[in-house]
Amino acid sequence: MSDLKSNLNQHKLKTTDEELEELLNIHRTKIQVIGTGGAGNNTITRLADAGIEGIETIAINTDAQDLLHTKADGKLIIGKNVTKGLGAGGDPQIGEQAAKESEEEIKSLLQGNDMVFISCGLGGGTGTGAAPVIAEIARNLNVLTVSVVTMPFSDEGTLKEKNATSGLERLRKNSDTIIVIHNDRLLDMVPDLPVSAAFKFTDEVLVNAVRSVTGLVANKGLINLDFADIKTVMKDGEIAMIGIGESDSNEKVQEAIEKATHNQLLNIDIAGAQKTLINIEGDESMSMGEAQKIMVSIAEKLDSNAKILWGTSINKDMKGKIKIFVIATGLNSQQQLADKSPESETTENELKIAEKNKETYKSTVGDKNKNMKNSAKNGSMGAPAKNVFNQIFEDEIKGDLNILKESIKFLEGNKVDNKTFRNLKNACKGLMSSAQLYSNKNFEEFVKFINDIFDQLIINKIKFSSQFLPLFNKIPPILEGMAAGFPVAVDDSHQIIKELSLLIDQGSHEVKMEKGKNQENKLVVDDEIFIEKMDLEKKLKMELN
């Protein structure tokens, strides 16, 4: 044994922090931001001034003069033969031809990226014509493609409006997700600001989106969101809304929620979102209750079928503030394109969604209690309608619950070994962590009881018996019912605890000692459920040796 340990120590692999850093750098998420045309190049310059780390900025144009004065990590003049570096003259067809002429150079720029933001102003020549081509190339390279575009002012004329509408439709087809900003909204928000200052408001949409996405990718949170989560929400997301809300007031939670879900520039109703990512950031004083309130409050604004991913992170620099970052995708395209969404209409929609979720939950736990209880006894609870909090909790536990189900099936197939019990124990560990996170005490206590049984099975203090199987099979559907919010499922969990305890107690009876026998080794034994103390001691000695 000592020789074996010595041999292992000599060949023990060690990984240095430098090697870990190198590995992370190799696989670090690569994000590129491309500004196309005059408006896109201006945005890239302002983005460069924001000093966001972890991104590469690229300016693309047909106008050499404009490109010369743009701040960017890289620049590309396109369509040299078509435009001679003099611009597209407001003609989208020229912009498209220029992009197609430089297709290989654009492709070379995009290769190796994980995500690309494409920024442009629609209605002119280069942005309107080239941006859809760039987006198509990026998507064909399997790069997550997000376009952030501005629509022209209404008084800029019908030709610009027509060009913008046509370009937007082409860009929408070639992008995973598109965020549309209407310049007319600036007239309502900041009518007296100088033009250059007003346009900074529109640039903030892109700046905030890029800063928040890179922050999620680079920083680890308590409940972590990563690039895979961003991709889940934004891939094939179509029309999107990005919102940021920050507050340190006495009503900071509600104030931050309001700001994050009502972006005045985008002016779109979040209630129609199909997928939503929510990240909540605060300092060490932020409570789990505050984080849950934020998540549930936003979720209640959404359709009950919406997919929700959420995370939280601690940042000492927040100093009492709470910041919420929301990406909502799959929104109503007609609403966004038409820019018609009075505030009263938004509020009414959100109230309808919230009331629908509330009533659905009431009818589920009221009218279906009896049916669910009967189903639980038969080993199935069906798929009840849920309120938003229950749905998010169910999504959180889905993976561990599936492992639990599959491992119990292994036991039914006579595959009784420590590996299966460890899988069951690991599933329970994950379920308990989720229950603690969501403050589901009943769920946590039930899983802890089950976990203790698997612990005893692993160390052979309890010997597995086929008598466990009918009860084990009831555990997953009861957990599903508890996660869905059925009070009767809690009652059923108590019943399972009683039945399992009774089964174990029945196996733990004193064996009458025969005269002249060594009573020390005659510990409580049942034929199937418990093993003798002597056998346990022998097994432990064998494992130690």
Specify the number of domains making up the chain: 3
Q: pLDDT-based confidence at 183, cuts 50/70/90?
A: confident
Instruction: Answer yes or no: is 256 within a domain.
Output: yes
pLDDT for the residue 344: 38
| 259 shares its domain with 174 | no
pLDDT for 388 beyond 70: no
| 338 shares its domain with 484 | no
Quick one: 299 exposed, middle or buried, by C-beta within 10 A (0-12, 13-18, 19+)?
buried
What torsion, rounded to 10 degrees, do the Cα atoms 510, 514, 516, 517 define? -50
pLDDT for the residue 380: 40
Last residue of a domain, one of 365, 392, 418: 365
| 194 shares its domain with 311 | no
| 393 shares its domain with 461 | yes
Q: Going by DSSP bridges, is the β-strand pair 31-36/115-121 parallel, antiparallel, or unpaired?
A: parallel
pLDDT tens digits, 252-267 = 889 999 888 887 777 7
pLDDT for the residue 16: 77
Average model confidence (pLDDT) for the chain?
A: 78
Q: What is the mean pLDDT of residues 168-180?
A: 93
Give the residue among 218, 220, 219, 190 at the shortest CA–CA distance from 202.
190
| 148 shares its domain with 290 | no
| 454 shares its domain with 426 | yes
| 268 shares its domain with 361 | yes
Domain containing 185 equals 28-218
CATH number for the domain harbouring residue 329: 3.30.1330.20
Question: What global pTM score does this model have?
Answer: 0.64
Last residue of a domain, one of 340, 365, 390: 365
Residue 279 pairs in a beta bridge with: 311, 325
Which residue spans within 143-183 are E strands per DSSP?
Answer: 144-151, 177-182
Structure tokens at 302: 């959404």
Q: How far is CA 235 from the centre of its chain?
A: 12
| 102 shares its domain with 200 | yes
pLDDT for the residue 105: 96
| 246 shares its domain with 348 | yes
Give the residue among 153, 132, 259 at the shortest CA–CA distance from 199.
153
Instruction: Answer yes or no: is 273 within a domain.
Output: yes
| 52 shares its domain with 189 | yes
CATH number for the domain harbouring residue 482: 1.20.120
Q: CA-CA distance, 336 to 225, in Å (whole number)?
A: 27
Instruction: Answer yes or no: is 234 within a domain.
Output: no
Q: What is the mean pLDDT of residues 460-472?
A: 84
Last residue of a domain, one of 365, 395, 413: 365
CATH number for the domain harbouring residue 87: 3.40.50.1440
| 140 shares its domain with 213 | yes
Instruction: Answer yes or no: is 42 within a domain.
Output: yes
Instruction: Answer yes or no: is 303 within a domain.
Output: yes
Instruction: Answer yes or no: is 129 within a domain.
Output: yes
pLDDT for the residue 126: 95
Q: What is the mean pLDDT of residues 302-321?
A: 83
Instruction: Answer yes or no: is 69 within a domain.
Output: yes
Q: How far is CA 43 from the centre of its chain?
A: 28
| 175 shares its domain with 270 | no
Instruction: Answer yes or no: is 359 within a domain.
Output: yes
